[in-house]
Chains A and B, each alone.
Chain A
Amino acid sequence: MESTDFEPKIVAFLCNWCTYTGADLAGTSRIQYPPNVRIIRLMCSGSVDPTYVLKALLDGADGVFIGGCHPGDCHYQSGNYKARRRVVALKEILKQAGLDEDRVWLRWISASEGQRFADTVKEMVEALKAKGPNPLRQEWAV
């Protein structure tokens, strides 16, 4: 049903210390991944306000990727745990609102995991391609 040339748009909120640096490492290691992901740098995954995620989805982003430090590795001790709890609650809200909660991904990727970052982006792009475009895109277009 979906055309095969659908290119999902992913907004990524990455913590400065782990996943953002991991994405930089993917760059310095020249690991190629699909260009669908657009990164916003935040200091901590614990500072990702659910409204940021909702805004991205309502504006028509096909996926939202939140990247933080591995459990126990947070630069601010517990920010990633806060992110995890918020994302669980947010997904419940998305479900209630009839939105697809699987468009929001939370992953732990450290500063030394450039390959893992690239792999995660690839995986997410594939998953979103299978899902097709965010239906809100079209609804807003009316």
Chain B
Amino acid sequence: MRITEHATRNTYHTMEYVTMESKPRIGVYICHCGTNIAATVDVAAVVEFAKTLPGVVVARHYTYMCSEPGQALIKEDSKALGLNRVVVASCSPRMHEPTFRGAAERGGVNRYRLEMANIREQCSWVHRDRASATLKAKALVASAVAKAARLEPLEERQVGVTPGVVVIGGGIAGMIAALDVADAGFPAYLVEKSDRLGGRVADLYRTFPDLEPAGEWLEPLIERVQSHPNVTVLLNSLVTEVSGYVGNFEVKVSSSPNDHLEPGTLKPETRNPETIQAGAIIIATGYNPFDPHGKPEFGYGRYPQVVTTVEMERRLAAGDLAVEGKAPRDIAFIKCVGSRDVQLGHPYCSRVCCQVCAKQAQLLRKALPDARVTVFYMDVRTFGKRGEESFDEARRAGVRYQRGNVSEVYRRGERVVLRVEDTLLGRTLEHEADLVVLAVGMEPREDTGDIAALLKVPRSADGFFLEAHPKLGPVDTAMDGVFLAGCCQGPKDIPDTVAQAKAAASSALIPLIRGTVPVGSETAIVDPELCAGCGMCVQVCPFGAPSLDLLWGVSRVNAVLCKGCGACAVTCPSKAIRLQHFTPDQVLAQVEALVE
């Protein structure tokens, strides 16, 4: 079956090469993307318009071009109508260009004779007016068709992959990802900013929902990471520079001297490669707990009675629950501090605080059986496995849950008072307490921007790293070969973090196991007939791809070194070099189609 299919494909290729200079036969496919495009762009009108464009043999619209039947449409049409170029107007080529290249190839069209018109990210999602969005979509399709008509068939290239993965961040996500990479037999470089592994989980006393001590499983995990022969742990280290691309990254790591290393902390690995070569990078830099100084109405930092859940974790571990020398009789939790707060720019739910409250409230009831523990909440969201049960267990342990928004905390004698709006009865009440615990949410780390700039990975509006696709690419990023794990992508609990870390490790291992990555065939080539051998391309190229052939007196481009930026093509005074797939005749045809 495979062989037949392959043979067919080759036959089509051969046929195409034979008739290479024959007229373009273009198929145009307009995607609805459900309603993402079709709600704003009149797809039927775009199809009718596309049919009038030169070289277009067939134009269709379909609900989801990336779906199996959508791709089959391209394949069947290509075969039945003898198409030699395909234009898909849908999402960004950064999303589905490989998908549609594959579909075109299965139909016998050279994969580089596919052109995409980005009518979703750059049209339907950013414009509301149907008439002007449709007009723009038509122009973008005309531009893509004009380019497609001039596209040349190219051959796919493969380059080798450097085995090894750099994992940034030595918390739970980073450790799990590094271990999976290492267990698969590849070197993992775990770069940690601080002087110890474990991240925020190391600060936890017990974990929800089963209240087991975190150290029970964390210590052996750290031990495994430290002793794994394939894991290189770099403590007190920062990634300072990243270059290269998927398969062959070069990561520069600088280590600060370990003079502030406290006794008892883990000994840092002495081996310190200045520059690490790796095939993939995993970002696992975690989060910061929200600093409640940003909510001054709760009196944090002003009253000793007000602490955060992070501090409460330490107090529970130390058994130090006294406030101003006395055991508290009345303890109040305030939920959603720094979460679900549009004014703070944190409109999201931090996902763990409800469970943290249930956990700490139970532990406090056990430690101080006479104390009254009240949780003030907007909603209780203890989702996930055993989540609802742990909420029930907290209530059975005598924790009072009271719906209400706390507007203010102020001092009255030795105690503090919470002013609460009871959102069920619509009235205001006062609640006296000796200890107030603020359930602080998660926010992006302050260095997220630096790492985003270093790795060229975009961030979402909330400041966390942005995944490539909210559903289909939750650990991928816009940068090939760079993956996300854990809370650096958004708030999540430990099981979700571990799942994501394992997913990121698996994704990072794909190019490593395959051993090669496809690289674009969009490289520069020299027409020796036109080349005068002036050598300007040699000077302008940062990668040393062109060199002068002294025998013939012309320039030649080494396709393996060429990264396809096209700088040489613009510099060449006799236009002897062109960047394949972005040639001047293609671009000028696009300009003409856009301005018409």
Contacts and interface: CB of A to CB of B under 8 A. Distances in A.
B271 to A, nearest CB: 30
Interface residues of A, number: 52
A110 B592 contact: no
Given A30-B126, A43-B565, A38 B136 contact: yes
B139 A38 contact: yes
Contacts of A30: 125-126
A59 B592 contact: yes
Interface in A1-55: 9, 11, 16-18, 20-33, 35, 38-44, 46-52, 55
B45 interface: no
B133 A35 contact: yes
A16 B569 CA distance: 17
Contact of A55 (B453, B466, B592): B592
Contacts, number: 149
Interface in B559-575: 563-567, 569-571
A61 B591 CA distance: 9
Interface in B105-147: 118, 120-123, 125-129, 132-133, 135-136, 139-140, 143
A56 interface: yes
Contact of B591 (A16, A29, A56): A56
A40 B591 contact: yes
A27 B567 contact: no
Interface residues of B, number: 52
B340 interface: no
A26 B121 CA distance: 7
A79 interface: yes
A110 B458 CA distance: 8
A95 interface: no
A111 interface: yes
Contacts of A82: 540, 567, 570-571
A43 B566 contact: yes
A110 B453 contact: yes
Contacts of A24: 92, 94, 118, 121-122, 478
Given A35-B126, A47-B567, 20 more contacts: A16-B94, A17-B456, A20-B94, A21-B458, A24-B118, A27-B126, A38-B139, A39-B122, A43-B579, A43-B582, A47-B582, A49-B570, A60-B595, A73-B456, A75-B565, A76-B543, A79-B565, A82-B540, A82-B570, A112-B458
5 contacts: A20-B94, A44-B567, A46-B565, A59-B591, A75-B565
Interface of B: 92-94, 118, 120-123, 125-129, 132-133, 135-136, 139-140, 143, 452-453, 456-461, 466, 478, 522, 540, 542-543, 563-567, 569-571, 579, 582, 584, 587-588, 590-592, 594-595
